[in-house]
Structure 1
């Protein structure tokens, strides 16, 4: 091979290695971005809890995912209730809107939000440990599928709506 051919081959090899290094750097940046814990990219806003004396009640909020990757809220907990479930509203066989526990959690796509609202998705606080009066604050911890957790506080408010039926209502007493 001539000197010119060797230089050309060396230049092509150098170019190829530089291109591969650039791809590897991009891949590691993407991996680092997707490895950010869900609790660090999710924001909770407009959170509130429906006032109630006993039984169960609902917690509502907007969950914003500011990250690029999808996140999943798998569970929630609060000292204000003996159990907290992720609920959705669906039509039963008669067309009546019914609340039920969500299987698989609340998924929030990257750069998107999940609205928890009366008559829709929400957190169900069951077995209230005491009355929840307007003006009080309820501390809540969300648990994500990646193992991270996020704590937030929600004020208690009066609300006349959201008195839907629940699957297994015999098991749960009280209003939502």
Structure 2
């Protein structure tokens, strides 16, 4: 293979890779439910401007012992339970997926330090096709709750917190 052919192939590969998924994160914020809480969450809108669907399959951050993709399941009787979504969330081609309070979200368990209004939280979103996308999510403790979403919500007992210690 000539050097010219190699360069042409590399250029074509880089162009075709970009068409898989182009991820844009908007309206992101992170918060805890109360000062000193050991859990927190992040919310955002994830847009895929690419031509192929993608899947958010993992999330990482150093601010907590455990970071997972979560959603709410209706347990009946007005009780909602937060659960880990191992398969992640689909992000359609040319579409978006909202991670919002009362629905899908990023969950931080065993926070190593309190979330502080105005600071940012470093988070890595991991996609099947787009790979790793690093975002700095602003902490907004003042954003109002969705009316009625906190009633009947259970969380602490659904997570195995054994062996989890905050990082120093």
In structure 2, C-alpha distance between the alignment counterparts of 1:90 and 1:147, rounded to whole Å? 28
Counting only pairs closer than 5 Å after superposition, residues 36-75 of structure 1 correspond to structure 2 as: 36=18, 41-51=22-32, 52-75=35-58
Distance 1:37 1:104, change over 3 A: farther
Contact 1:100 1:167 in 2 (8 A): no
Task: State the Cα distance separating 1:170 from its structure 2 match.
Answer: 6.0
Q: 1:122 aligns with which of 95, 99, 105?
A: 105
Q: What do residues 135-166 of structure 1 show as CA deviations (whole Å, max 9, x unaligned)?
A: 11101101112371000111111145364323
Instruction: Name the counterpart of 2:120.
Output: 137
Aligned pair in 2 of structure 1 residues 111, 147: CA closer, same or farther (>3 Å)?
closer
Alignment partners' CA distance in 1, 2:86 and 2:133? 20
Instruction: Report the TM-score when normalising by structure 1.
Output: 0.70
User: What is the alpha-carbon distance in structure 2 between the residues aligned to residue 154 and residue 57 of structure 1?
Assistant: 12
Post-superposition CA distance 1:48-86 (Å, at most 9, x none): 001452311110000000011110011111111111110
Q: Could you state the TM-score of these two structures normalised by the residue count of structure 2?
A: 0.74
| Matching residue of 2:63 | 80
Match of 1:98 among 67, 81, 85: 81
Residues 37 and 139 of structure 1, relative CA distance in 2, 3 Å threshold = farther
Equivalent of residue 95 in structure 2, options 99, 112, 119: 112
Structure index of larger Rg? 1
Instruction: Number of aligned residue pairs: give it.
Output: 141
Cα offset for 1:99?
Answer: 1.2
Once residues 44 and 147 of structure 1 are traced to their aligned partners in structure 2, the CA distance between those partners, rounded to angstroms, is 13
CA distance in 1, matches of 2:159, 2:45: 30
The answer for unaligned runs of 5 or more in structure 2 is 1-11, 162-168
Aligned to 1:166: 155
Structure 1 residue 102 displacement after superposition: 0.9
Alpha-carbon distance in 2 for matches of 1:48, 1:142:
14
